[in-house]
Structure 1
């Protein structure tokens, strides 16, 4: 079984493992499978990696399908790399996500746990995102069927859509995407049709040539729509004509920006978007709080479930109106502002200065007078002088990126020894690692998974930690 180019035949799929890979066992070996399979399918698997105790590969042939399988709803399913679990009933998706949280906390964290609360599912399983980024490419990804229909030749044609997984230079041309409500498809298709009709050049990531690079669309629950067109270089005549055509075709758009990016990468954090139409930002609401979102601002991608996630966080914090709350990785201040009415004081800390500027403005917009925000590293900021001035935290809320907290920060939390920590995570595996380090001082009191991204394997998890009484 350890030979290369091995195909395992008639493998019964039995479950799911981390990162959304299906799971099977054969001859005492664990097989991780990609390729749109669900438990109950029987498939042939071509192995990519083949070790002594485990292997991973891709399903290349289905002998029979699970009776739990449901029809996919998107024409791009299986190619674009998003919404990989469309073929699974949503109730079953939630079941596996809940299992994923428990498995990580037990196997990685090796923690003594309370019973995990039932996962909070999303009321919106399509059209739930508030932001999407599309990529222009002069070389569209073509399926095998499209290549066969062209007599085996691969024609070069432009595309506006999503990067195909593991192919940095190929973009799948997207017709209809179900991740956002309209008019997102109208906006994207309008720009592509205009660009093709007027022979505007799409970017070539290999040669670093071409004009049109990226398109970012944000649609808020307030109804505001923000569009940021990223171009390689200034071409005022074509830029004005294209953006005017877009505004005329989609008058619901409330603000349009453009960003010139001559760099070799697609990031715009160090660039300055320029406002073409409207106020240059959008406004979003969580409960009664209003947040200004600029073209470079981070905000929870699913507004509906973001509100649910923050309510869990606020509930776990158990605030009575007197507590000093430290909000770490506070970003634009959304969690800190969300809990501010129940807190005595909120101290937000974030490494990115621009995010802190947004946080301060958002606090002012919402007339929040008991919140202060500071730019810098928590490990450096939280010294004796800082605590003497702002007070020791009664509750710490931490919401780190997928990589989790740096070990220095974990050690700092152990040093601070706040009575409560509410740990919000978008990656239960790294959360479990951090909880294991905090275990010397804290016990896990509550665990609440929240599904932010239906039809994907991604899962958010909120954990309440309380300081041990004997410490």
Structure 2
């Protein structure tokens, strides 16, 4: 019989001062020449830390007792803070959040990308630091999370939950009373769905056994006032499902797109599933500068629409468009940036891996009478080839907005061959962006850097970089 590996135990580190905020929202402290990364604290806190992991050059740990609190702290506004995996920075005031996001970008670009600029442009904060998201997905669970206080009380609690996953747990859901991420009527809709489901004798989903009826609810709001709700269930039970949909239609007349999915798969993704429109239209619209973007149940759209507009304006400004440029928009998604800059460009070529996203991009061009865009679906390194460049011409400007992993080395190599005059690199991960900038520095100089906060109360930050070809 195989011996089970013993879990390593570490001694408590007492009264250690938290020094600074570092990557991925963790804080840093030092003890006996060892760096310790700690979650759930703020620079200036004095805490006892229980190490949970030890490597050669660093440790990870969690705070178990606070001796002094940082002056940077503010009172969290959400009752779920510390349990829910979202809004982990709400114990810091918003100006402090912006300071550390700016620092994160600067540190990554200087240390990894070797970027040297006399001045980094100040981060653009969000005008809303809560109720800024236009999409949330909630999960049902038959066995919702209980706090230590609830367990120790000995009382009986309703365990059927509709909310968010606990950090690092696929099988545990925290029932959410009020979420401060999405504007009304999001909270009211979620609670109405939960209460309706609790009133029926149909089981909430069990992620371990992969059984149960009620699975997920997706709520999408738009700046046009349109609203989409998608209910996902495990199997066909029309009386229960249609009863819920009818209730939502009656109680929330602002819902313009009411849809459902019968998802019999083991996982919660539904991009390969049929989505059935029960009431209203099968899509909603977002709008920027009079351009309407059709958002379907499977469409990607920036989750902070108001700040996305600011991000795209900066991207367009960095691109320096005069109306005569051929623009390549890499990782175009649903063509949001491509269509947004089309009026200031001679032609825009958009490339994206996901075929359904490219279909959205083409529709968005069509409904806005934009005729100078062309979109291709496929792996970036397979589409961005000599043949494509021969067909359309050498780009004057390249806009690239890759996923968190950054660009594939073959794509970077092709960009170095193409030698566009300007590259505008939009990134949601300054670390991988910095890695790519270091590779592009063979032929390009960084001219401007502008961080943009898309996700207040979190450590995430977007960053826009202008690269100019070194002729």
> Is structure 2 residue 235 aligned with structure 1 residue 230?
no
Aligned-partner Cα distance in 2 for 1:290–1:433: 35
Aligned twin of 1:463 = 465
Aligned-partner Cα distance in 1 for 2:413–2:212: 48
Mapping of residues 205-220 of structure 1, within 5 Å: 205-220=207-222
Aligned twin of 2:18 = 13
> Is structure 2 residue 79 aligned with structure 1 residue 83?
no
1:53 to partner: Cα distance: 3.0
> Is structure 2 residue 172 aligned with structure 1 residue 129?
no
Q: TM-score, normalised by structure 2?
A: 0.96
Aligned-partner Cα distance in 2 for 1:334–1:436: 27
Aligned twin of 2:4 = none
Q: TM-score, normalised by structure 1?
A: 0.96
Aligned twin of 1:268 = 270
Counterpart among 344, 351, 354 of residue 353 in structure 2: 351
Which range is displaced more, 44-53 or 345-354?
Answer: 44-53
Contact 1:28 1:53 in 2 (8 A): no
Aligned twin of 1:390 = 392
1:155 to partner: Cα distance: 6.4
Contact 2:384 2:411 in 1 (8 A): no
**Which consecutive residues of structure 2, in runs of 5 or more, have no partner in the other structure?**
1-7
Mapping of residues 43-442 of structure 1, within 5 Å: 43-150=47-154, 157-442=159-444
Aligned-partner Cα distance in 2 for 1:229–1:258: 5
Residues 215, 130 of structure 1: alpha-carbon distance in 2 compared, 3 angstrom cutoff: same
Contact 1:186 1:250 in 2 (8 A): no
Aligned to 2:455, the other structure's residue is in SS state: coil
1:384 to partner: Cα distance: 3.0
Aligned twin of 1:23 = 28
1:156 to partner: Cα distance: 7.4
Aligned-partner Cα distance in 1 for 2:54–2:336: 45
**Which consecutive residues of structure 1, in runs of 5 or more, have no partner in the other structure?**
none
Contact 1:114 1:444 in 2 (8 A): no
Aligned-partner Cα distance in 2 for 1:276–1:443: 53
Aligned length: 464
1:289 to partner: Cα distance: 0.9
> Is structure 2 residue 35 aligned with structure 1 residue 33?
no
RMSD: 1.3
Contact 2:385 2:414 in 1 (8 A): no
Aligned twin of 2:3 = none
